[in-house]
Structure 1
Amino acid sequence: MTDSPAPVRQLSLHRRYFDLVAAGAKTVEVRVKYPRLADLAAGDTIRFRANGTDETCDVRVRRVTEYPDFESLLDGAGFPNVNPTATRSQQLADIRAIYPPEKEALGALAIEIERIGDQ
């Protein structure tokens, strides 16, 4: 019996974050610890799609680290890895504008990523 490759996960990104991933500048993606992401692991592939477009960018997951909240995540993962164009306080405000407190209460995932090939 052979192992089949893991499916490619499809996730959407706001344009500004998509552009940072595509440029290789954003190396940590922030997500809430939803049950559908519980088995995300190093070696998995994510296909990010820029919201409202057909534009995609494939990345490989290097590591997934769980944090109790977004502040801990930004400190532990290094906020410049999440968004090198914004301050820590601006990033925290931006993330919390996307995810309300009840979502943050589920826990936060820092997904360390690397682009796959030239796209």
Structure 2
Amino acid sequence: MTETAARVYELNLYRRYFDLISARRKRVEVRVRYPHLEDLAASDVIRFRIKGTDETCDVLVKRVTSYDGFEALLDGEGASNVNPSATREEQLANIRSIYPPEKEKLGALAIEIELLGP
């Protein structure tokens, strides 16, 4: 039987979300359903990097779920799993400030993650 190594995706992340992940407080990452993420699946690894720095953290992908948009994602996943330090309305505004309407039209991905390492 042949075992395949987990795929590693490298993605940039804002400091505020990086800190929540590294503190094990953020369990679901939100992304637009871009073509380069269409194969992302459970058991893959994401290396998050704060853009312009050498700071990284690796997470295990536990699950990937597609949604039609950000509101449906927050309702389906529970806002506290996406960002426990912001209300649903604040999160929706923050996500939409990162991704304009034409990006949201591509769909949204909820990526359940688990921090690897200490």
**TM-score above 0.5:** yes
**Match runs of 1:63-78 below 5 Å:** 63-78=63-78
Which residue does the alignment assign to 1:51? 51
Runs of 4+ deviating beyond 4 Å: none
Q: Deviations over 1:8-67 (max 9, x none)?
A: 110010000000011100000000000100000011000000122110000000100000
- Quick one: which amino acid aligns to residue 19 of structure 2? D
Cα distance in 1, alignment partners of residues 86 and 60 from structure 2: 24
Unaligned runs of 5+ in 2: none
Normalised by the length of structure 1, the TM-score is 0.96
**Match runs of 1:73-84 below 5 Å:** 73-84=73-84
- Quick one: which amino acid aligns to residue 47 of structure 2? R
Unaligned runs of 5+ in 1: none
Answering whether residue 12 of structure 2 is matched by residue 32 of structure 1, we say: no
Cα distance in 2, alignment partners of residues 41 and 34 from structure 1: 14
Which residue does the alignment assign to 2:23? 23
Answering whether residue 112 of structure 2 is matched by residue 112 of structure 1, we say: yes
Q: Once superposed, what is the RMSD of the aligned Cα atoms?
A: 1.0
Q: Deviations over 1:48-90 (max 9, x none)?
A: 0012211000000010000000000001011101100000000
- Quick one: which amino acid aligns to residue 75 of structure 1? D
Normalised by the length of structure 2, the TM-score is 0.96
Cα distance in 2, alignment partners of residues 31 and 61 from structure 1: 13
Which residue does the alignment assign to 1:96? 96
SS at match of 2:49: strand
Cα distance in 2, alignment partners of residues 94 and 51 from structure 1: 18
SS at match of 1:39: coil
